[in-house]
A and B are shown apart, each in its own frame.
Chain A
Amino acid sequence: MKKQSMFPLNHVLGFVLSIALTVGAVFIVYQTDFSASVKMNIIGTLAIFQALIQLIMFMHITEGKSGGINIINIAYAIFLAIVVVAGSIWVLTTGHAAM
Chain B
Amino acid sequence: MASQTSTPLEYSTHQNEMTILGFWIFLGAEIVLFATLFAGYFVLENGVADGPTLKDILMMKDVLIETFLLLTSSFTMGLALHQMRQNNLKGMLIFTVITLLLGAGFMYMEINEFIHYVHEGVTMQTSAFGSALFTLLGTHGVHVTLGIGWVILLIIQLVRRGITPVTSRKFFIVSLYWHFLDVIWIFIFTFVYLKGALM
Contacts and interface: CB of A to CB of B under 8 A. Distances in A.
Given A54-B74, A58-B74, A29 B194 contact: yes
A19 B64 CA distance: 11
B103 interface: no
Given A54-B74, A64-B17, A74 B43 contact: no
Nearest to B34: A81
A14 B1 contact: no
A58 B78 contact: yes
Contacts of A57: 78
A25 B191 CA distance: 11
Instruction: Name the prevailing secondary structure of the B interface residues.
Output: helix
Contact of A36 (B1, B20, B199): B199
A84 B79 contact: no
Contact of B31 (A65, A80, A92): A80
B189 A14 contact: no
Interface residues of A, number: 51
A73 to B, nearest CB: 5
Interface in B152-199: 175-176, 179-180, 182-183, 186-187, 189-191, 194-195, 197-199
A22 B66 CA distance: 12
A39 B78 contact: no
Contacts of B11: 63-65
Contacts of B91: 2
A73 B25 contact: yes
A54 B32 contact: no
A74 B182 contact: no
Given A40-B195, A74-B31, 12 more contacts: A11-B82, A15-B78, A19-B71, A29-B194, A50-B186, A54-B74, A59-B175, A63-B11, A73-B25, A84-B39, A85-B35, A89-B42
